[in-house]
Structure 1
Amino acid sequence: MKTSFADFTALKKEADTVYLKLQRMGFIESEMLQLQKENDSSFIADFFLGKKYSEIAIYYSQEDFTKKELQGVASEITDEYFVLPFEKIPTSLRKLTTIRNQKGNAFARLRLTEFERSESYKLSATLLVDNGNIRTVDSIAIKGYEKFPLSFLKYYAGVKKGKPFNQKKLVEQSESLNSLGFVSAIKPPEALFRKDSTTVYFYLEKQNNNLFDGILGFATDEETQKLTFNGYLNLELNNNLNYGEQLLLNYKADGKEQVNFRVKATLPYLLKTPFGLSGELKIFKRDSTFITTEQQLRATYQINPKSTTYIGYKGYDSSNLLDIAIAGTPVEDFKSKFFIAGASYIKPQNKKLFPIKTVISFDGGVGVRDKEGNSDDQVRIETLLNNIFNLNYKNSIFVQNITSVLFSDSYLVNELFRFGGINSIRGFNENSIDASLYSIINTEYRYQFNDGVFVHSIIDLGYFENETLSLKQNLYSFGFGLGLNTKAGLFKFNVANGNTQNQDFSFSNTKIHISISSKF
């Protein structure tokens, strides 16, 4: 509290401030009795304090607030009133005002009236709510990226006309668009309130989000003298037509052991509805043993901004390339047809390096496998669960589980799941492990230096079963990784040592996984 003043006006202002502070502390009966001049340079202010009230009972209408809403400001709540510590009245009223604003009452005002003191010297008041006009989002305007596909705003972010105006929620919805990759929110949305309408302006900027990563080599096979390809290619084209469409192309080959090829096209929000389509083709060839082609077609439906479901068809066509059967390796020609269905939940977060916080995905299929005129009923189930636990800005823990299982009366090598490598369990060669059932737990402790550099640990645990070999085994790997967000793209460098059950540690089992995603 100030004790010296330039003039009497400043002194009087400070005296009034002290009086208001006393009122807010619970001395509501207090009053300034006099401000008396003692001498030419001194004044004395006399205050009457009266009784201090430590709490107040506030009567309310359940039409204005529910008990659940009041739990955020008060611990003692009845059907008629709630009790607040006197000092918390201003902050509590602000919180309750925010609740009204979120219901579309953008100009709601709250105040206490009808103060009363009971015979037991308890204080009460009535909460008066002036809701003003309920505001809804009547129109939406995009600034900066006028060709932005509005279906993403409606179904992905959840911004819809006719919904109550909620500034806080609109900011969160705008920031959620950053996880799309091809757009960024350059500043929070703003609202223009007219007499009869409310227009919300979103400020967006288109981002280049095409990704390329690849090395392609040519060589001559020493045995066959034929030209072979090796290396990998990863091409991802996103939103080039301003429709939100996506085209993926993946190719990976080591020249001898195996070849992977994948192409996928996705068309979201057909005819501006929550329905979409995706088609995918995969080809896998293992040396001279077999080649398998997988086709998939899905019809998707966006339930809400975070949840999607789908139904579709998946087919397999596999050919045995062996001239002579190898004992213990059941590889045969077969064809499979599956009806598939699934759902996913994806929760984004506003972080440049890690834009996705949570993923829950379930894929199931029921079908029939035909080989040499014999049919077997089969069920395929695949799940993915991961989450980032943010300890603070720099420290986080990533946990992921991948589980896949095939139910069948009999099994073939060329229909099993294949896993291993940077996208499943690190420290093992890509797709080097066959399994009828496997479950992998990936964990990383991440330390983020800034928005462009992070390091992390690697602790992966796994279990798999191979019915064709009557094999059940545990896997584990340990290591570390580095991530750099460079001008060329996101560079990831992982070193992991993978081992199987009952296997002694050996440095020769260490694998280095390198990837870089370049945007253009």
Structure 2
Amino acid sequence: MLKKIAFFLFLSFCLFSKAQIKKYILIDTQNKLKKEVLDSISAVKFLDSLSQNSYYLTEVKNVIKKENLTEIYFDKKQNFNQANVHISDSLAKELKLPQNFTTKNLDSLKQNINKIYRNKGFSFNRIKTKFNGFKNEVPQIDLEVATSNKRTIDKFVLKDYTKVPKRFVKNLEEDFLHKIYDDKNLLKINNSLQNHPFVLLERPPQTLFKKDSTEIFLFLKKKVNSTFDGIIGFGNDKTEKFTLNGSLNLNLKNVFNGFETIGLYWQRNPDSGQTFNLGTDIPYLFQSKVGLNLNVNIYRQDSTFATVKAVPGFYYHISNNQKIGFRGTFETSAILDSLYTGGKDYTKQGIGLCYQYSRPTEIEIFQYQTNINSSVDYLRANYTDQKYNQIQYFLKAESNFHLTGNHYVNVNGESSLINSKNQLNTNELFRFGGWNSLRGFNENSLFADFYAFGGAEYRYLVNTQTFFDVFGQYAVLNNPNLNAQSKLYSLGFGFKFFMQLGLMSVQISNGSQFGEAFNFKSTKISWGLLSRF
């Protein structure tokens, strides 16, 4: 019984409380539209908001109270954002507007004019308006612009990390100094440094306005960009014997604050071939736009032959993303086993042209957004009893495309050709295949005087630190010594993710020749770790 009485009292209290709730309704006398608000404070806020939207003469006409209902009748009157505007003849020519016109949004007009003058370098321009009364209930406005001094970018000031090459600062000055100070150029400065390979922009460019100059402050940080890359591969060699192979790749970048790179690379493939590569790149010689690149490559095939190749070159920075140059080639190969008949001793010298375009990616786990390397070399080949002229071509390109959401596709390809009238020997053919080439094959296990391969890799980006991938590749090659033209394919999948030690990569792949049965024993499992320091 007590429970029923308590429930009845509680229900009665709720109904009584609800009956006491007051309602406030605002009614626009112009269009009879109604708006219900919670309380009197909300009603006052709504009426104040009308003045903020250019209804400066809003007037409350009547307030009617009916028990718990309050009706507030108001008249917005004229909207001062709609006006007849008059401007001077000179301003009309500057803005390409008539001297007298009507606007429905005076605030927007003022903002647009302000932006036009900011983009012309008048950062502190002011738009002045003068109210001249009403005509047919429409405000009459005189509008003029006070421009102040025109601003240009006069100086760059580096903060935090300042030990950068002088050429780096000079490039910025050549690109932006004395240009109009506006949002467009600030964005270009920010974008040019956003994905720089050697420095980080810790915050957007800051501006200091002085009486007669404008200075841009760049807060830079030295990028942790040196890398150590180790790869271990598991697979079978030509005799289907299980082998362990891999590579070590050390790149020291910007150690001496000159944006230089020193690279050391070693690789061993399952067929007892070893590669040693030492390279250095100095981008700004004597604070100029000319850079130096020197590369020395040594390849030894077990006890059969050894080849040493030195390629010194100079290049010119067309822009931050492009460079073009010329280089020399000095190559020597010697047969170590007198019983080996597949090769000959030779020397080669020549000159060539090279071009590189690279656009960095905003997604750190992807190496590039777009990267293109190409070269052509004219060589003089000297054998024991003969001399021949040769031309070599090389092209490598890749690009990442965003499909939708977390879905991306990487498209890549590579091709090389030796154009020569003489029969080429095994020790001077191109060697390719492996982790960073045609996957599913042993490292440097494919020999050709011409090859071309391309592929597509679907990438699912879990987050900025992890992605899974599935890939397919197709290749054609010509081996003159075997008198064979082959068509190959490779398929596989893998994943990459950042961990405390660095970028971890795992890849499972298998490759074969078209027409041959799929061989599960040829599956390659590769594991790599790239650490930055």
**Same fold judged by TM-score > 0.5?**
yes
Shift of the alpha carbon at 1:318?
1.1
Shift of the alpha carbon at 1:519?
2.0
Residue in structure 1 matched with residue 48 of structure 2 by the alignment:
13
Q: Structure 1 pair 88/280, CA: closer, same or farther in 2 (3 Å)?
A: farther
**How far, CA to CA, are the matches of 1:98 and 1:426 in structure 2?**
54
Shift of the alpha carbon at 1:361?
2.2
Q: Residues 231-286 of structure 1: CA distance to partner in whole angstroms, max 9, x if unpaired?
A: 63321111111111110011123586211010001111122221111111001111
**How far, CA to CA, are the matches of 1:480 and 1:456 in structure 2?**
6
Aligned pair 1:424/2:453, yes or no? no
Aligned pair 1:445/2:480, yes or no? no
1:352 to 364, 368, 373: 364
The range that moved more, 199-208 or 502-511, is 199-208
Which consecutive unaligned segments of at least 5 residues does structure 1 have?
21-30, 66-78, 115-124, 217-228
Q: Structure 1 pair 105/305, CA: closer, same or farther in 2 (3 Å)?
A: farther
Is the partner of 1:188 in helix, strand or coil?
Answer: coil
Residue in structure 2 matched with residue 499 of structure 1 by the alignment:
512
Q: Structure 1 pair 499/202, CA: closer, same or farther in 2 (3 Å)?
A: same
Is the partner of 1:136 in helix, strand or coil?
Answer: coil
**How far, CA to CA, are the matches of 1:416 and 1:404 in structure 2?**
10
Shift of the alpha carbon at 1:207?
3.2
Aligned amino acid, residue 346 of structure 1: S
Residue in structure 2 matched with residue 517 of structure 1 by the alignment:
530
Is the partner of 1:16 in helix, strand or coil?
Answer: helix
The range that moved more, 167-176 or 505-514, is 167-176
**How far, CA to CA, are the matches of 1:488 and 1:273 in structure 2?**
37
C-alpha contact 2:193 2:200 (8 A) present in aligned 1: yes
1:37 to 59, 62, 71: 62
Is the partner of 1:468 in helix, strand or coil?
Answer: coil
Q: Structure 1 pair 310/63, CA: closer, same or farther in 2 (3 Å)?
A: farther
Q: Structure 1 pair 19/155, CA: closer, same or farther in 2 (3 Å)?
A: closer
C-alpha contact 2:230 2:528 (8 A) present in aligned 1: no
The range that moved more, 88-97 or 456-465, is 88-97
Residue in structure 2 matched with residue 379 of structure 1 by the alignment:
391
Residue in structure 2 matched with residue 366 of structure 1 by the alignment:
378
Is the partner of 2:257 in helix, strand or coil?
Answer: coil
**How far, CA to CA, are the matches of 1:182 and 1:425 in structure 2?**
30
The range that moved more, 312-321 or 40-49, is 40-49
Q: Residues 350-377 of structure 1: CA distance to partner in whole angstroms, max 9, x if unpaired?
A: 2221252011222111122111242212
C-alpha contact 2:270 2:442 (8 A) present in aligned 1: no
C-alpha contact 1:275 1:301 (8 A) present in aligned 2: yes
**How far, CA to CA, are the matches of 1:381 and 1:95 in structure 2?**
54
Q: Structure 1 pair 13/452, CA: closer, same or farther in 2 (3 Å)?
A: same
Aligned pair 1:471/2:484, yes or no? yes
Aligned pair 1:262/2:277, yes or no? yes
C-alpha contact 1:341 1:364 (8 A) present in aligned 2: yes
Aligned amino acid, residue 394 of structure 2: E
Shift of the alpha carbon at 1:450?
1.9
Shift of the alpha carbon at 1:494?
0.7
Aligned pair 1:196/2:217, yes or no? no
% of aligned pairs identical?
Answer: 27
**How far, CA to CA, are the matches of 1:239 and 1:286 in structure 2?**
34
Q: Which structure would you say has the larger Rg?
A: 2
**How far, CA to CA, are the matches of 1:103 and 1:468 in structure 2?**
67
Within 5 A, what are the aligned runs for 1:409-420? 409-410=421-422, 411-420=424-433
**How far, CA to CA, are the matches of 1:315 and 1:126 in structure 2?**
77
**How far, CA to CA, are the matches of 1:338 and 1:103 in structure 2?**
52
**How far, CA to CA, are the matches of 1:62 and 1:311 in structure 2?**
55
Higher relative contact order (CA 8 A, sep 6+): 2
Aligned pair 1:287/2:287, yes or no? no
Residue in structure 2 matched with residue 185 of structure 1 by the alignment:
201
Is the partner of 2:286 in helix, strand or coil?
Answer: helix
Q: Residues 199-247 of structure 1: CA distance to partner in whole angstroms, max 9, x if unpaired?
A: 111122223322224489xxxxxxxxxxxx9863321111111111110
TM-score, L = length of structure 2:
0.76
Is the partner of 2:353 in helix, strand or coil?
Answer: strand
**How far, CA to CA, are the matches of 2:174 and 2:529 in structure 1?**
33
Q: Residues 426-479 of structure 1: CA distance to partner in whole angstroms, max 9, x if unpaired?
A: 100001001111111132111122222211112111111122322111111111
Shift of the alpha carbon at 1:289?
2.6
Residue in structure 2 matched with residue 335 of structure 1 by the alignment:
347
**How far, CA to CA, are the matches of 1:157 and 1:485 in structure 2?**
37
Aligned pair 1:237/2:252, yes or no? yes
Q: Structure 1 pair 178/325, CA: closer, same or farther in 2 (3 Å)?
A: same
Shift of the alpha carbon at 1:32?
6.9
Give the number of aligned pairs. Answer: 467
Q: Structure 1 pair 253/19, CA: closer, same or farther in 2 (3 Å)?
A: closer
Is the partner of 1:414 in helix, strand or coil?
Answer: helix
Residue in structure 1 matched with residue 31 of structure 2 by the alignment:
none
The range that moved more, 305-314 or 155-164, is 155-164
Shift of the alpha carbon at 1:310?
0.7
Residue in structure 1 matched with residue 134 of structure 2 by the alignment:
none
**How far, CA to CA, are the matches of 1:304 and 1:507 in structure 2?**
48
Aligned amino acid, residue 74 of structure 2: A
Residue in structure 1 matched with residue 446 of structure 2 by the alignment:
433
Aligned amino acid, residue 309 of structure 1: I
Q: Structure 1 pair 47/444, CA: closer, same or farther in 2 (3 Å)?
A: same
C-alpha contact 1:477 1:498 (8 A) present in aligned 2: yes
Q: Structure 1 pair 90/290, CA: closer, same or farther in 2 (3 Å)?
A: farther
Residue in structure 2 matched with residue 68 of structure 1 by the alignment:
none
Q: Residues 47-70 of structure 1: CA distance to partner in whole angstroms, max 9, x if unpaired?
A: 6799xx9xx9x99999968xxxxx
**How far, CA to CA, are the matches of 2:270 and 2:472 in structure 1?**
30
Q: Structure 1 pair 487/37, CA: closer, same or farther in 2 (3 Å)?
A: same
Within 5 A, what are the aligned runs for 1:145-160? 145-155=161-171, 160=176
**How far, CA to CA, are the matches of 1:17 and 1:95 in structure 2?**
19
Q: Structure 1 pair 131/240, CA: closer, same or farther in 2 (3 Å)?
A: same
**How far, CA to CA, are the matches of 2:408 and 2:116 in structure 1?**
31
Aligned amino acid, residue 454 of structure 1: F
The range that moved more, 104-113 or 379-388, is 104-113
Which consecutive unaligned segments of at least 5 residues does structure 2 have?
1-34, 132-140, 233-243
**How far, CA to CA, are the matches of 1:60 and 1:464 in structure 2?**
71
